Structure 1
Amino acid sequence: MTDTTLPIPGLRSMLRHVWQDQRVWLASAAILAGLVIFDTPQAVDSAIFAGGALLSTAPFLILSIGIAAWAGATGADNLIARAFTGAPLLMIGLGALAGGISPFCSCGVIPLIAALLAMGVPLSAVMAFWLASPIMDPSMFVLTAGVLDLEFAVAKTLAAIGLGVFGGAVVHLMMKGGAFTDPLREGIGNGGCGGARIRAPKPVVWRFWAEPERRAKFGKTALSTTLFLAKWLTLAFILESLMLAWIPAETVTATLGGEGLLPIVTATLVGVPAYLNGYAALPLVGGLIEQGMAPGAGMAFLVAGGVTSIPAAMAVWALARPPVFLLYLMLSLNGAFTSGVLFQLWQIL
């Protein structure tokens, strides 16, 4: 007897996979289609705006894609293992530095964290890496410099490293008092795509083009990174065009502009639910700053959103026990607010 229901699970899985891969493109297409129906001139303006913005950032896109592909092909990301050897305070500093410059993808960070903790690496050093990693990486630095400016990119990097060091130090002091003896949830082991890099780090092969497998990996990473950045930046630039067209500048200025702490507090809290993606957030923040958003508020939004966005927070919740999760959120929000205040003071000085 033939079972005609067998292909259905496979079909559902395929459709789910296609939806997950293409939903950002579909969202951009849906927005433009809606504009064509209800506001055709704005649809044309948004398409032209997004296309021009992509062209203007193309040099930075190409450089950031090359960096990501190079890191994967050479195995330079294996150098992260060296950050977790040594005295606790040294590991905190190196963990924060590694998190601020590491090229790990978002899917690789969480398994890597699980591997580190399961292997007995102190939570203080892991927390330093954990807090710094979502905020900055080499590709993000290049795009931040291109979309915003070099000063903002440097300040965001320092914020990432500073937040990592601060969070690691707080956890270190709490651990000395007996806290966080078992940070992982029950059943979380040391598997995952990032675990092997720590358990058995491989040497870096700088001349990757001499090996066919590494050349293939370079091409695959370059293609996947290109598609990833293109879909998110396209959506972001479309949203930015609508924001510039429909949100009065005086509204932005009144809410997130000006001096004082309130705009930075607001941006810190708004960054948690409103943050889409690190790359997509850059054009949005750039547009808001042009409309009067305080630079410190922009920094707070990017830092808070990068660490505590809903997808990232859900991943942390699934991995760590509730006390660790709550501390992660508190450190993130405090660090984001402090980063915003310091950056705003730097702008004034």
Structure 2
Amino acid sequence: MTDIPLGSGSSMLANLWSQQRVWLATALILAMTAVLDPTQGLESLQFTVDALVQTAPYLIASIALAAYAGASGADNLIARAFTGSPILMIAVAAAFGGLSPFCSCGVIPLIAALLAMGVPLSAVMAFWLASPVIDPAMFALTAGVLGWEFAIAKTLSAIGIGLLGGYATLTLTHSGALANPLREGVGNGGCGASSVRTPKPVAWAFWRDPARRQKFGREALKTALFLFKWLALAFVLESLMVAFVPAEWIITTVGSNGIGSIAIATLVGVPAYLNGYAALPLVSGLIEQGMAPGAGLAFLVAGGITSLPAAIAVWALARRPVFALYVAFALSGSLLSGLLFQLWLS
């Protein structure tokens, strides 16, 4: 009979949790919800499945592009395009993020690919701060519900916060901080990444090379598993927030008039995730009831930047100091955007 070392069971459980903690956490949350409230458990499961299905086309396209870039070697060209003047790259990243058609979910694989390619953290910070706030479809809907001034202000806020975060991150990087900004296995980061230092020829028709085909499959599977496990957790948490954070509570909290409501709306908007499209009519109703427009803008911008899919993506990719900076930029940038918009209107 083989002796089993004492403590081997606990070490196996610890190893399992370390490797699969995101999936296990998602399953545990769903199981606890189902036990405490069976109806909500089913609704949360259905919400998560529906959300994953809706975002699947964007994710599949992004995963395929990221895997193609790695297998063909095109990531060398993309990484090299982000080298040169950091000041210019941050401006381009913020503008692209503010005007790009990516949703907060669809942009996650692109962010992961940019970091793995060695794009500087400052440019990526500018992009991921600006991207979740606005896109062409959101701009059109915002203009229809809240007016053109509000839509333009939201777009300028997205770009402005991207610039703020990008240049602040660049300053911190130059001072020696954020030396190791990324979690293990995400990428080697920085301007001097290997993909930039040692560029190789691009094989656009990578499928002709068996080794590159295998690399495409590995990269696609690795990226897909990484994205879906974090998005599944994000959507489960989102379903619970939608169920247990009623709109009436938000109205009571941020529905007051005046500059003070801008600060409250910013603080409430950061943790309180609302679907960007669903939040527009809510904010419109609040403004009609007397809420300061600047508070409405701060709420939308703060909630957009720190939406669960976007925030969890940053948490999964970057170390805690970088995530703390991300939240700090969301708070300060949203507050400043709301104040400036209210000042301009008055």
Does TM, normalized by the shorter one, top 0.5? yes
Q: 1:314 corresponds to which residue?
A: 320
**AA of the residue aligned to 1:183:** G
Q: After superposition, what is the alpha-carbon deviation per residue over 1:33-54, rounded to whole angstroms, capped at 9, x for unaligned? A: 2233222122222222322333
Which amino acid is the alignment partner of residue 289 of structure 1?
Answer: A
Question: Aligned Cα RMSD in Å?
Answer: 5.2
Unmatched runs of 5 consecutive residues or more in structure 2:
101-106, 143-150, 284-295
**What are the equivalent positions in structure 2 for 1:153-192 lying under 5 Å apart?**
162-166=160-164, 182-184=175-177
Give the direction of change, closer, same or farther, for the CA distance of 1:231–1:288 in structure 2 (3 Å limit): farther
Q: SS of 1:53's equivalent?
A: helix
**Matching residue's letter, 2:320:** M
Which ranges in structure 1 are unaligned for 5 or more consecutive residues? Answer: 117-125, 276-280, 318-324
Paired residue secondary structure (1:135)? helix
Q: Using the alignment, how far apart are the partners of 2:173 and 2:33 within structure 1?
A: 51
CA distance in 2, matches of 1:185, 1:237: 30
Q: How does 1:95-114 map to 2 (within 5 A)?
A: 103-105=110-112, 108=115, 112=118
Q: Deviations over 1:82-134 (max 9, x none)?
A: 33325x6545535656888893428946x947xx6xxxxxxxxx63x153144
Q: 2:42 aligns with which of 37, 41, 44?
A: 44
1:250, CA displacement in angstroms?
A: 0.9
Return the offset for 1:251: 0.8
TM-score by length of 1: 0.61
Taking the TM superposition and a 5 Å limit, the aligned residue runs for 1:61-80 are 61-78=59-76, 79-80=78-79
**Superposition pairs of residues 111-122 of structure 1, within 5 angstroms:** 112=118
The two structures have a TM-score, normalised by structure 2, of 0.61
Inter-partner Cα distance in structure 2 for 1:107 and 1:270? 31
The one of 114, 121, 125 aligned to 1:131: 125
Structure 1 CA distance, aligned partners of 2:257 and 2:208?
55
Structure 1 letter corresponding to 2:80: A
SS at match of 1:84: coil
Aligned: 1:289 with 2:279: yes
Q: Does the aligned pair in 1 maintain the 2:269–2:300 contact within 8 Å?
A: no
Identity of aligned residues (%): 39
Q: How many positions carry a matched residue from both structures?
A: 302
Please tell me whether residue 193 in structure 1 is matched to residue 188 in structure 2. yes
Please tell me whether residue 220 in structure 1 is matched to residue 218 in structure 2: yes
Distance 1:186 1:66, change over 3 A: closer
Counterpart contact for 1:50–1:237, Cα < 8 Å: yes
Bigger mean CA offset, 151-160 vs 74-83: 151-160
Q: Which amino acid aligns with 2:282?
A: G
**Residues 56 and 131 from structure 1, CA distance in 2 versus in 1: closer, same or farther, beyond 3 angstroms?**
closer
- The 1:199/1:254 distance shift into structure 2, 3 A limit, reads farther
* Shift of residue 221, structure 1, vs aligned partner: 2.4
**Any idea what the Cα deviations from partners look like across 1:264-291, whole Å, max 9, x if unmatched?**
544644676x49xxxxx7xx54486278
